[in-house]
């Protein structure tokens, strides 16, 4: 409790008004709730610092022990592929290079070779170190270039030495964890058909003593990879496939690995992710993991990144452009819209004049997309102002239909009912308590909904105080009345503008999700019908989660875009669980139905990570 008081004092110093609320919480809600509130403030004030504090505990529990290492050494896999580790060097500091090579020598799996290419280092010690290690272990090979060819040519020179079935990539100042190759071969024994495997990673301070900034990644997310190179390390790719795509390309230095990953992913879908940290980037001036390095390469490497994404777009047959964002290294691939298809905006509502009026007024005055239809499904409004509003809207926008729903409230049935009256090629389901923020909100959804492989498209929703309400749905999260997790919204209640590093790029990146909220969701009518619409069994909750999972079953992707932003007064229209139409008993029945239908699927979201918590929506670690 003492530590909580110290943190409370710090918060109170900067925010005096909060001290009264804190005292109230402690006295009336008890020490347990008090600790939870203080913890929450820690996360909100400095998310990355909080994660690093958590990671110290996670690291102690999960870094392979000597006992575990010996167990791994004793395991004899039926399939023992040789893994060629590719490492280009150039004027590498002696300690960094020795640590790097030692991390390979200390692997619990034996069938590897280390292929080093020195790119004409001017520091003679580099070559001496490499030669000395090669004398000690015949699995270490090397080639010394006479002229400096930079990272792509040096990597290809190292590749020329490789005789392994698979290629792993290791930077000259980074470290493999002792179990790195073991875990790769372990998954290959279960799935020998895999072509491309990647793992989670962390960073290492320059002294090599402190591990920090863990990155627990999602499974394969093609749209996320076209937003940011989230794969990085450790990456292992079948050699035949690397040969097929031509290895690393000259002229793509600074983003050569991203370029390779994208080209490989155009050739195979046999891609798997190991949810374990197997690789540590060293935060040194030489490394792209350091802030100083990022600043130095800003004008060069990020131009190459744009070139990589533009090349990938052309190769995939898309037309559009690549746009930089407020974060270095995070990009927006903006697809051209084909034609001007009609979009039917379906809005369920009942006696909610204030919010509906605001919602419709902003749509009519700010929307830049010219071809849209309004379908307002009224659930039995008795307020005369509502019906007067409908007349005004129909005069302002001729493509407006007012449909009467005369049965008991059922969100799924109401949305399906609205779809029956739609004329549009695309459907946009929208809550009446939302307010659009940008003119091109429809275009930013439609560009993705038009893509053949995409099912539903969701957006960033903010509470009126600019805190995050929705940035994609994560399966399995518990909370409130739900003790057995179904789904939740990561980063919920975090200030949008204060999330600016680390995992926050997930909030501001186009990426794939298991589901997105139906408060603002677009999908083509054909795909909506192919999936079967929303299931009326989910009357008040989880209809969008169930919908998203059924989309995945049709081999379609769900996608989140942060480039459509709306304010959302969540649950204003239908109330919170236990109020009005949202009966708590019905809600818990739907929780049970979700578990009956989807079972273990809810506990393993492929776009989340098993090392992240399911206890809440904070996107913190599972410790």
Are residues 263 and 186 in contact, defined by beta-carbon separation less than 8 angstroms?
A: no
Four-CA torsion 176, 179, 183, 186, nearest 10 degrees: 140
Each residue of 530-568: pLDDT tens digit? 999 999 999 999 999 999 999 999 999 999 999 999 999
Together in a domain, 40 and 90: no
Most confident listed range (6-15, 207-216, 271-280, 295-304):
271-280
- Domain stops at, among 286, 306, 331: 286
Are residues 186 and 79 in contact, defined by beta-carbon separation less than 8 angstroms?
A: no
The label of the residue with tokens 């930079």 reads: 150
Of 92-101, 440-449, 489-498, the least confident? 489-498
Assigned domain for 58 exists:
no
Count CB atoms within 10 A of the CB of residue 286.
19
205, 280, 418, 428 from 405: Cα distances, Å: 61, 58, 9, 18
Are residues 376 and 386 in contact, defined by beta-carbon separation less than 8 angstroms?
A: no
The whole domain housing 6 covers 2-45
Instruction: Tell which wins on pLDDT, 494 or 537.
Output: 537
Together in a domain, 506 and 559: yes
Assigned domain for 190 exists:
yes
596's CB contacts (< 8 A; 6+ apart) are none
Assigned domain for 569 exists:
yes
Task: Give kind and range of the element (H or E) at residue 446.
Answer: helix 441-449
Segment 109-120 mean pLDDT: 98
Segment 245-253 mean pLDDT: 97
Q: Identify the band that residue 573 occupies on the pLDDT scale cut at 50, 70 and 90.
A: very low
Together in a domain, 407 and 475: yes
Domain total of the chain? 3
Residue 20: predicted pLDDT: 54
Together in a domain, 373 and 271: no
How far, in Å, CA of 125 to CA of 115, rounded? 18
Each residue of 439-472: pLDDT tens digit? 999 999 999 999 999 999 999 999 999 999 999 9
Count CB atoms within 10 A of the CB of residue 244.
13
Assigned domain for 52 exists:
no
How far, in Å, CA of 622 to CA of 406, rounded? 46
Average pLDDT, the chain: 90
How far, in Å, CA of 524 to CA of 528, rounded? 6
Assigned domain for 552 exists:
yes
Together in a domain, 110 and 172: yes
Are residues 418 and 520 in contact, defined by beta-carbon separation less than 8 angstroms?
A: no
Together in a domain, 425 and 395: yes
How far, in Å, CA of 520 to CA of 566, rounded? 9
Each residue of 433-445: pLDDT tens digit? 999 999 999 999 9
Look at strands 434-436 and 454-462 and give their pairing.
Answer: unpaired
- Is the per-residue pLDDT at 616 higher than 80? yes
Together in a domain, 367 and 250: no
Assigned domain for 542 exists:
yes
Together in a domain, 252 and 347: no
Assigned domain for 609 exists:
no
Segment 239-252 mean pLDDT: 97
Four-CA torsion 18, 23, 28, 32, nearest 10 degrees: 90
Together in a domain, 29 and 115: no
Look up the CATH number of the domain holding residue 103.
3.90.550.10
Q: Identify the band that residue 302 occupies on the pLDDT scale cut at 50, 70 and 90.
A: confident
Assigned domain for 248 exists:
yes
Together in a domain, 567 and 511: yes
Each residue of 16-41: pLDDT tens digit? 545 555 555 555 556 654 555 555 55
Task: Give kind and range of the element (H or E) at residue 181.
Answer: helix 180-190
Look at strands 196-204 and 166-169 and give their pairing.
Answer: unpaired
How far, in Å, CA of 321 to CA of 333, rounded? 6
Angle between helices 150-159 and 256-265 (to 10 degrees): 60
Angle subtended at Cα 51 by Cα 49 and Cα 55, rounded to the nearest 5 degrees: 120
- Is the per-residue pLDDT at 109 higher than 90? yes
Of 116-125, 223-232, 275-284, 576-585, the least confident? 576-585
Segment 478-504 mean pLDDT: 75
Are residues 568 and 574 in contact, defined by beta-carbon separation less than 8 angstroms?
A: no
129's CB contacts (< 8 A; 6+ apart) are 94, 97, 98, 101
Query: Which residue blocks in 247-406 are alpha helix, DSSP H?
Result: 256-265, 291-296, 298-315, 353-366, 384-396
The label of the residue with tokens 């195979």 reads: 268
Segment 485-495 mean pLDDT: 91
Helices (H) and strands (E) in the chain, counts: 20, 23
- Is the per-residue pLDDT at 581 higher than 80? no
φ, ψ dihedrals at 185, nearest 5°: -70, -35
Together in a domain, 38 and 72: no
Together in a domain, 18 and 84: no
Look up the CATH number of the domain holding residue 379.
3.90.550.60
- Is the per-residue pLDDT at 285 higher than 90? no
Please tell me the pTM assigned to this model: 0.91
Are residues 345 and 415 in contact, defined by beta-carbon separation less than 8 angstroms?
A: no
Q: Identify the band that residue 479 occupies on the pLDDT scale cut at 50, 70 and 90.
A: low
Each residue of 155-195: pLDDT tens digit? 999 999 999 999 999 999 999 999 999 999 999 999 999 99
Segment 281-298 mean pLDDT: 62
Segment 55-74 mean pLDDT: 97
Each residue of 342-396: pLDDT tens digit? 999 999 999 999 999 999 999 999 999 999 999 999 999 999 999 999 999 999 9
- Is the per-residue pLDDT at 143 higher than 80? yes
Most confident listed range (106-120, 491-505, 585-599):
106-120
Report residue 256 as tokens: 């050569």
């Amino acid at each position: 409790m003492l530590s909580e008081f110290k943190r409370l004092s710090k918060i109170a110093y900067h925010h005096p008004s909060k001290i009264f609320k804190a005292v109230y919480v402690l006295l009336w809600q008890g020490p347990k709730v008090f600790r939870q509130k203080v913890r929450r403030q820690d996360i909100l004030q400095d998310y990355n610092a909080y994660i690093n504090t958590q990671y110290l505990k996670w690291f102690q529990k999960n870094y392979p022990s000597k006992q575990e290492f010996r167990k791994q050494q004793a395991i004899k896999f039926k399939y023992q592929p040789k893994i060629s580790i590719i490492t280009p060097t150039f004027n590498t500091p002696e300690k960094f290079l020795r640590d790097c090579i030692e991390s390979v020598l200390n692997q619990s799996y034996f069938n590897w070779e280390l292929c080093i290419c020195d790119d004409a280092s001017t520091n003679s010690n580099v070559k001496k170190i490499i030669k000395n290690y090669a004398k000690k272990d015949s699995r270490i090979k090397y080639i010394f270039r006479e002229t400096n060819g930079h990272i792509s040519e040096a990597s290809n020179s190292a590749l020329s030495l490789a005789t392994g079935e698979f290629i792993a990539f290791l930077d000259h100042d980074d470290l493999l964890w002792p179990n790195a190759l073991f875990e790769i071969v372990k998954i290959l024994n279960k799935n020998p058909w895999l072509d491309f495997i990647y793992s989670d990673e962390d960073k290492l301070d320059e002294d090599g003593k402190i591990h920090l900034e863990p990155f627990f990644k999602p499974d394969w997310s093609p749209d996320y990879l076209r937003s940011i190179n989230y794969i990085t390390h450790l990456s292992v790719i079948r050699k035949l496939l690397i040969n097929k795509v031509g290895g690393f390309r000259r002229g793509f230095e600074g983003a050569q690995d991203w370029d390779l990953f994208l080209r490989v992913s155009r050739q195979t879908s046999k891609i798997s992710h190991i949810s374990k940290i197997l690789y540590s980037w060293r935060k040194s001036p030489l490394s792209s993991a350091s802030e100083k390095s990022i600043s130095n390469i800003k004008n060069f490497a990020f131009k190459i990144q744009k070139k990589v994404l533009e090349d990938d777009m052309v190769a995939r047959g898309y037309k559009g452009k690549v746009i930089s964002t407020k974060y270095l290294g995070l990009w927006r691939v903006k697809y051209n819209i084909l034609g001007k298809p009609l979009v039917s905006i379906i809005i369920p509502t009942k006696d909610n004049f204030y919010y509906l009026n605001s919602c419709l007024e902003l749509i009519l005055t700010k929307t830049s997309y010219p071809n849209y239809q309004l379908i307002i499904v009224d659930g039995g409004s008795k307020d005369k102002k509502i019906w007067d509003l409908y007349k005004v809207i129909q005069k302002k926008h001729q493509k407006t239909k007012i449909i009467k729903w005369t049965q008991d409230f059922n969100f799924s049935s109401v949305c399906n009912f609205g779809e029956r009256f739609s004329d549009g090629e695309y459907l946009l389901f929208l809550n009446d308590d939302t307010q659009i923020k940008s003119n091109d909100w429809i275009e930013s959804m439609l560009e993705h909904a038009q893509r053949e492989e995409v099912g539903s498209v969701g957006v960033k929703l903010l509470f009126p105080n600019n805190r995050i309400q929705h940035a994609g749905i994560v399966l399995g999260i518990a909370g409130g009345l739900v003790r057995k997790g179904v789904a939740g919204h990561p980063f919920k209640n975090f200030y949008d503008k204060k999330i600016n590093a680390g995992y926050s790029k997930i909030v501001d990146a186009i990426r794939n999700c298991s589901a997105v909220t139906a408060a603002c969701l677009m999908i083509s009518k054909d795909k909506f019908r192919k999936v079967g619409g929303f299931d009326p069994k989910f009357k008040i909750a989880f209809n969008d989660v169930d919908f998203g999972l059924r989309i995945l079953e049709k081999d379609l992707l769900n996608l989140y875009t942060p480039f459509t932003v709306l304010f959302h007064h969540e649950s204003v229209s239908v109330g919170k669980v236990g109020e009005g139409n949202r009966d708590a008993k019905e809600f818990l029945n739907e929780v049970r139905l979700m578990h009956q239908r989807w079972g273990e699927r809810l506990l393993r979201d492929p776009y989340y990570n098993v090392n992240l918590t399911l206890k809440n929506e904070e996107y913190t670690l599972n410790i």
